[in-house]
Structure 1
Amino acid sequence: MRDASCIFCRILAGEAPAHVVHEDELVMVFLDINQASPGHLLIVPRVHVPYWWELDEAHAAHMGVIARPLMQALREALQPDGINILQNNGRAAGQEVFHVHMHLIPRWQNDGRLGKPPKYEPQEVMAERAARIRAALANIRQA
């Protein structure tokens, strides 16, 4: 499935430029045009779906599997102190392109590149959230 208005679909089709670092039958990996840090990569599946929960298992699994050697390559090529894996779903979560994708963002100590500190919740709030998520996951697995 392809969406002609989607920039990632146009890149996948060779209709828009990108600095590709890897491609195979399931994904294409290229530098993000808006580099959060030097070497910021996007792993983009060859199927057009807006959100991770709509992605088939083969593409989802492959994106996770291919992230490991890509991270190794980033470490070798750029020597970052760390790497963020980021995957946003929905405008409220920071998604800007509605074609599922995963970010690999090299990080250097004290680079100041990413957001505010986390908000720490009370343990009872965290326990209740975790229980709700576990119950939802159990329901999904039973379906």
Structure 2
Amino acid sequence: MDCFICRIVARDAPASFVLEDQSTVAFVDIRQPNEGHILVVPRVHIETIDLLEKPLASDLAWSTVRTARAVRRAYRPPGMNVWESNGEAGGQEVPHVHFHVLPRHHGDGLLRVYPDAHPRTFGPADPALEAIAERVRRVIS
């Protein structure tokens, strides 16, 4: 398998690391739409978030929190995005789970969640929301 993130973790590709522990690493993304954009990844190759087991998911979440705190302290941004994408349709560009930590600034024009879409919006007690919840509850583990 030729995974760019796995090559970085193995030190077969260059990266500027900001955090390393037994199960995760965080490094500076080569794309810096705002300075301080960091990726947090598991050391083992796992393609999508739904394939993570609880111990690694917990470690990855904690490393992401630690990284976000560090970015907040280092850059003092007025906002921050943390996201993870899955599958081509979801915008995943590298098939290895990775969380983005991106400092945000007023007017930076980045990452509008629904830039041109008009998502359906429901009232909090709408039965459609309960139907969605039930569909997911049936298969949650």
> What residue number does 1:76 align with?
73
Count of residues paired in the alignment: 135
Runs of 4+ in 1 over 3 A off after TM superposition: 117-120, 124-127
Identity %: 37
CA-to-partner distance for each residue in 1:39-60, whole Å, 9 max, x for gaps? 1111110110111111222111
> What residue number does 2:15 align with?
18
The 1:32–1:91 alpha-carbon spacing in structure 2 relative to 1, beyond 3 Å, is: same
- The SS at the match of 1:136 is coil
Of 108, 113, 138 in structure 1, the residue corresponding to residue 105 of structure 2 is 108
TM-score, with length taken from structure 2: 0.87
> What residue number does 1:120 align with?
119
> What residue number does 1:136 align with?
139
> What residue number does 1:47 align with?
44
TM-score, with length taken from structure 1: 0.86
Return the letter of the residue paired with 1:100.
Answer: V
- Which residues of structure 2 form unaligned runs of 5+? none
- The SS at the match of 2:25 is strand
Return the letter of the residue paired with 1:96.
Answer: E
- The SS at the match of 2:32 is coil
The 1:82–1:47 alpha-carbon spacing in structure 2 relative to 1, beyond 3 Å, is: same
The structure carrying a bigger helix percent of its residues is 1
How far residue 36 of structure 1 moved from its aligned partner, in angstroms, is 3.3
Return the letter of the residue paired with 1:78.
Answer: Y
Return the letter of the residue paired with 1:95.
Answer: Q
Query: C-alpha separation between the residues in 1 aligned to 2:116 and 2:129?
Result: 17
The 1:118–1:65 alpha-carbon spacing in structure 2 relative to 1, beyond 3 Å, is: farther
Query: C-alpha separation between the residues in 2 aligned to 1:56 and 1:74?
Result: 27
Query: C-alpha separation between the residues in 2 aligned to 1:97 and 1:121?
Result: 30
